[in-house]
Amino acid sequence: MINYKLLTPGPLTTTDSVKRVMMEDHCTWDDDYKQITQKIRKELLEIAHASEANYTTVLMQGSGSFGVESVLTSVVGADQKLLIIANGAYGERMMSIADHAGLCYVPYRVEYDQIPSAEKVEELLAADNEITHVVMVHSETTSGILNDIAAVAAVAKAAGCTMIVDAMSSFGGVDIPVEELGIDFLVSSANKCIQGVPGFSFIICNRKKLEESEGKARSLSLDLFDQWKTMEKDGKWRFTSPTHTVLAFAQALEEFKEEGGVAARSKRYYENNRLLIRKMKAMGIRTYISEKNQGPIITTFLYPEHHNFSFVEMYEYIKERGYAIYPGKVTDADTFRIGNIGEIYEEDILKLADIFREFFDRMKTKTAVIFDWAGTAVDYGCFAPVKAFAQVFQNAGIEPTMEEIREPMGMLKWDHIKTMLNIPRIHALWVKQYGAEPVDADVDRLYQEFEPTLFGILDQYTQPNPYVLETVQELRERGIVIGSTTGYTDDMMKIVVEGAKAAGYAPDCWFSPDAVGSKGRPYPYMIYKNMEQLGVSSVDELVKVGDTISDIKEGKSAGVFTIGVLEGSSLIGLSKEEYEDLSDEEREQILGEAKAKYEEAGADAVIKDIRGLLEYV
C-alpha cells in the first residue's frame, strides 16, 4: 500500500470520496450516465464563465495532450496558419503535434523563465496576415510560470484570429473568464485543478468556431467536431467513455462547488504556494521564476548549492516521509518542482517544509568528527574493558555473561560497575554471596581492582580498527578536524593514546570524563570540550561516531548528528575472527539487530564500517 501524497500537478492527490465512487461499474448507454456527462459539460461552462448560447463543452478520451492534439488538428484548416507561443515543454509539445499533423505554423519561442509578450505577438500577427489561429499555454507546468493570456487574447482577437489556450493546469485553480477574454478553445483535463483522476480532457469551445471546423479534422478518434455532434445529442460519448473517471470527475466537481468554487480553490492554492515559497526561501532555496510571474500551481526550485546534494536522495527522503515531489523539467538550470494542487493543505506545506529542513540540516557542511575510542577507532570488539570487568567480577565470585558486561559499555568505568551490580541477576547473586545489597563502597572496591587489571592489559588493545587510518586521512584531506571522547579515565587514556599514536592514529584532541567533573556519557560535556578545543562554532557542524548505546545517547544529548558503527563494535561484541567465521546469514542477522538497537537509541545513521562516515561529511 503506497501511503504518500502527490505533490505533482496531475495526477494529484484526490479525496477518498472521489476514489470511492470508482468502485462502481457503470454502463454507458442509459440516461443516468448520459445525464452525468451533460451535467459535467454544463458545470464546466459555468466555471469558465461562458454562456450556453455561445459556448459548449466537449469531453475527449485520453490525457490532456489528446485534448490539445484534438483541438489543433481539428480546427486549423489545411489552408490556415497557426502561431504557436512556447515558453516551456508544453508549448514545445504543441509544435510537435503540429509537425506530426503537418499543420502550417509559426513558432514564437521565449526563454522558459520569461512570459511571452503580447506586443511581440501583435507584431508577429501584423507581419504575417496569413496567421489565422494563435495558441498558447496558460500555466506552463514545466516551470510554474503563469502566462498573460488576457493580453495575448486581446491582440489575437483584434487581428481577427481564433484564440486557443492550453489551460490544463490552471482551469479551476485560476479564474478564467473565457467568454470575456474571447478565448475560442480552452483545453484542460480531469486530473488537474478539478481534482479528478486521469482519463479524459475537456474543451470549452466557441460554438460558432466549432461549427466552422467541420470536416477539418486529420484524425478520426480526435475529431473534435464529430465528438461534439454525438455528445451534444444526448450526452453519449462517441466511443467508449472512461466511465470510472467520469464518475470520479462528477464527484470532484461536487466537491469543487462545496469548497467554494474557483475563488476558494484559487485562494487555497495561492496561499499554500506562497507559504511554500517563503519557507523554502528561508532555507536558502530560490525559485526559478520571479515572484511576479510565478503561478499558484507548481513551483520550480533551484538546487541548493552544496556538493553533497542529490535529488534522488532528497526525493527518497521526502517520499519515505509521505510526499512525492517532481524532478525539474527546465533545460537551463538544475531544478526540482513541487506542485501544490490536489488535496494539499497548509498542514501539508508546513510538514513538507519541516522535512526539507531536516534533509538540508543533514546535508550541512561538517567541519569536525568526534570519534569514540575503544570499539570505534581502536580495540576491535572493545575487549580490554570486557576482559578486565570479567576478571574483577569473577574474583568477587560472580560470573557475568558477555551481555551483562557489554550492556553499560561506553560509560565511565565506575558507573559501569555500578550499573552491572544493578542488573537483577547479578544483584541477586551478590545478595546471595554477601548477604547484603551492593553499596557504593562495593563499587569502589571492585573499581580499585578493575583499574590495575585494565592497566595490566590495556597496551595490548590500542591498535586502530580496519579502515580507520585511511578514513581519518580522507577526512583531513577534506579539511575536517578530528576530536574524541571516551569512557576511559585520563590515566587509562595515556596508555591508549600512546599506543594508537605509535600505530598511526592520533586525533587532534581527546577528552575523558575526568575533564568534565566525571560527568561522562550520556552527558554531552566531553563533546562540548572538543568543540571548544577545536574551535567549532555550532553543533550542526559536528558528527559523532561511536559503537555503544551510550555513545549514541551522548551524541544526541549534545544535539549533533550521531552515527553508530557496526563492525568491530562493542554492541556486536565479537572479535575479528569470530565475526569473520559467521555465515552470511548469521552476520546479516547480527548486523540487523545491532542496527535496530542504535536506531532505537536515536542514531541518525548506522554504518557498516568506519568508511561509511565519509558519506555524511
Ligand X SMILES: *Cc1c(COP(=O)(O)O)cnc(C)c1O
Q: Which residues are annotated as a binding site?
A: 372, 374, 547
Contacts with ligand X: how many residues (CB under 6 A)?
A: 13
Q: How far is CA 203 from the centre of its chain?
A: 34
Q: Can you tell me whether residue 187 is helix, strand or coil? A: strand
- Name the burial class of residue 473, with classes exposed (0-12), middle (13-18) and buried (19+) by CB atoms within 10 angstroms of its CB: exposed
Binding-site positions for Mg(2+):
372, 374, 547
Q: Which of these is catalytic: 34, 192, 329, 413?
A: 413
Instruction: Name the amino acid, one letter, at 199.
Output: G
Least distance (Å) from ligand X to the CB of residue 91?
8
Q: Where are the beta strands (DSSP E) in 554-597?
A: 561-565
Does 10 participate in binding ligand X (rule CB under 6 A)?
A: yes
Nearer CB in complex with ligand X: 71/369: 71
Determine which one of 166, 372, 379, 604 is catalytic.
372
Nearest to 398 by CA among 433, 352, 363, 357: 433
Residue 137 binds ligand X (CB under 6 A): yes
If phi over 0 gives left and psi between -120 and 50 gives alpha, with beta otherwise, what is residue 365? Answer: beta
Which of 13, 56, 57, 63 lies at the binding interface for ligand X (CB under 6 A)? 63
Measured distance CA(445)–CA(443) in Å, rounded: 5
Minimum CB separation of residue 608 from ligand X in Å reads: 42
Q: Can 351 be counted among the known catalytic residues?
A: no
Provide the minimum distance between the beta carbon of 116 and ligand X in the complex, in angstroms, as a whole number. Answer: 14
User: Which residues, other chains included, contact 385 with Cβ-Cβ below 8 Å and sequence gap of 6+?
Assistant: 374, 409, 413, 416, 454, 487
Instruction: Please measure the distance between the N-terminal and C-terminal CA atoms of the chain and give it in whole angstroms.
Output: 34
H helices of 343-467, where? 346-363, 383-395, 402-406, 413-421, 424-434, 440-458
Considering beta carbons, is residue 62 or 602 the nearer one to ligand X?
62
From the CB of 355, what's the least distance to ligand X, in Å? 25
x/- contact string, 162-201, with ligand X (CB under 6 A)?
----x-xx-------------------x------------
Q: Which of 33, 90, 414, 505 binds ligand X (CB under 6 A)?
A: 90
Choose the stretch contacting ligand X; rule: CB under 6 A; options: 62-70, 95-103, 148-156, 261-269. 62-70
Q: Which stretch binds ligand X (CB under 6 A): 61-69, 77-85, 231-239, 411-419?
A: 61-69
Among 483, 501, 597, 500, residue whose Cα is nearest residue 543: 483
DSSP 616: G
Q: Smaller CB distance to ligand X: residue 64 or 555?
A: 64
Which of 169, 180, 117, 120 lies closest to 143 in space, CA to CA?
Answer: 169
**Closest distance between ligand X and the C-beta of residue 298, in Å?**
8
d(CA 342, CA 272): 11
413 catalytically annotated: yes
Q: Which of 61, 141, 294, 376 binds ligand X (CB under 6 A)?
A: 141
Q: Cβ closer to ligand X: 12 or 531?
A: 12
Binding site for ligand X (CB under 6 A): 9-10, 63-65, 90, 137, 140-141, 166, 168-169, 189
